Amino acid sequence: MDPTEAQIREIERQLYTSAQAQWNEVWRSHRWEFQVLRWCLGDPALRTRILRFIDCLPALTDARDVIRHLREYFPEREGRLPAALRLGLAATRPSLLTAPAVAAATRRVATGMARLFLAGATLEDAAGPLRQMETSGFRITVDLLGETTVSQAEADRYTTSYLELIQRWSSSLASPVHLSLKLSSLAFPFDPIDPEAAWRQAAPRLKSIFQATLDKGGFLNIDMEQYSLRDLTLLLTQRLLEEYFPSASSIGVVIQAYLKDSEEVTRRFIQWAKQRGTPITVRLVRGAYWDSEVIQARQREWPCPVYTEKRETDACFERLTDLLLENHPHVRIAVATHNLRSIARAIVRSRQLKVPQERWECQVLYGVNEAVHRAVLRFGVPVRVYTPIGELIPGMAYLVRRILENTSQTSFLAAGLIPAEELSYEL
C-alpha cells in the first residue's frame, strides 16, 4: 500500500473510534426523536407517505384538516398508525382523543423532529443551540430556510430578512456573521437563458447583503443549487467581486463533486482566483440534487450532468480535495462531508502539502451525525456547522421536500441513527 493511503486509513480509523466514543452522548440527548425516526423510516413503504404527509402539514390550517389527511395518508387501522403519531398520542389521555388533540399531537411530533435538523425558528430562538455549539468550539454558518422565491417582492423580503439577520447576529452569537445564501432566492425569474437579466435583478440585492456582511466583518457563502443554475451562480459571484469588491476575500462558492465537469470548472475557477490575486473560499461538497438531476436529464433526454455511480463521485471528491489543497495560496478550502474517509484524506493531504490550518476547515450539517462533528473537532480540525433556521414545521417541510426530491437520501435522516456511518447526503 502506498504510504499516503496507509496514513489515510489510519486517520480514518482514529476518527471512527473517536466518533463511536461520542455516540452514546449524542444518543442520550435525542433518544426520543431517534426512536421515532427509526420507527418511521425503518419501513420503506411507510417512509414515503410519512415524508409526504410532513410535506403538506404546514398547509393544513385546522384540526379537522389534519385528521382528514392523516386518514388519507395512513388508511390502515390503529396498529399501523405511524409510530411517531402513536408516540405523540401517548402523551394524551385516551378520553381526550379529539380532533384537536390528535392534530396537536401530530404537530408536536413534527416539531420535535424539526428540532433535530433546524436550530430554531429565528436567530433568537436558535441562540441556545448556536451558543452551545460555539462554546464547544464549533464554527457556524446559518442558512435561512424559506419558500421558493416566486416574485420580485419575495426576493426583496428575502433580502430584508438576511439584512436583519446580519444586524441582529451579534446579539445572539460571539463569532462574526457567517451566512449561506442561495442566489435563486434573490431574483425572479432567475433564469440562465438571460444571464444579463438575472444579474440586473440579483446584483443590487446580493451587493447589499454582502456589503452589510463585510461591514460586520462577516462572511457570505453563495450556495450551489441545480446544475442548470451552476454557471449562472459562479458567473454572478465572480462579476460581483470584479465590479464591486475587487479585494474582498470573505466570500465563498461551492463545487459539487458529483458533476462530471466539476474538475474542469474547479481548474478554471482556481485560475480566475489566481489572476484576481485575493483568495476566496471554495466549499467542496458531493452535491444534494442527485435524484432530481438524474430524473430531469432522463425526462428531457439531456446528457446526465452527474456521475451515476457513487464511487465515481467519491473519486472525484478526492481528486478535487487534492486539487484545491494544492492551490491553497489561491483558495481557502471547506471540505464539506460527513464521510470519514474523505475527511481523513483532507487531513493527510493538507499535512503533506503543508497547508496552514487557517486555510482549510471541515463543514458538516446541523443535526446530522453529530458524533462525526465531535470526532473531527477533537482531531484538531476546525468544523463549521451548516445550520438551517426557519419556522419549524414549514422548515421541516422544506427539508422533507429536499429528501423527497432525492429519495435515495433518506439516509440523511436515518444516518442520524448510525454512528460514523457513511452518508450520501451532503450540503
- Give the residues lining the site for other proteins (CB under 8 A): 52, 55-56, 59-61, 65, 68-69, 72-73, 147-148, 150-154, 188-189, 191-194, 196-197, 227-229, 231-232, 300-302
DSSP 57: G
Shortest approach of other proteins to residue 397 CB, angstroms? Answer: 9
Nearer to other proteins, 10 or 147 (CB): 147
Nearer to other proteins, 228 or 407 (CB): 228
Shortest approach of other proteins to residue 193 CB, angstroms? Answer: 4
Q: Which residues on neighbouring strands pair with residue 349, listed in sequence order?
A: none
Nearer to other proteins, 122 or 226 (CB): 226
DSSP 280: E
CA distance 243 to 224: 21
Which helix (H) or strand (E) is 139 found in, with range?
strand 139-144
Nearer to other proteins, 150 or 353 (CB): 150
Nearest to 158 by CA among 168, 166, 169, 146: 146
Which set of grid coordinates corresponds to residue 61? Answer: 390550517
Shortest approach of other proteins to residue 75 CB, angstroms? Answer: 9
Pairing mode, if any, of strands 139-144 and 331-336?
unpaired
DSSP 76: S
Nearer to other proteins, 166 or 306 (CB): 306
Shortest approach of other proteins to residue 407 CB, angstroms? Answer: 17
CB-based contact 293:236 (threshold 8 Å): no
Instruction: State the residue for C-alpha cell 440527548.
Output: 29
Shortest approach of other proteins to residue 66 CB, angstroms? Answer: 10
| Number of alpha carbons in the 13 Å side-chain half-sphere of residue 231 | 10
Shortest approach of other proteins to residue 370 CB, angstroms? Answer: 30
Nearer to other proteins, 191 or 263 (CB): 191
Cis peptide bond N-terminal to 189, omega within 30: yes
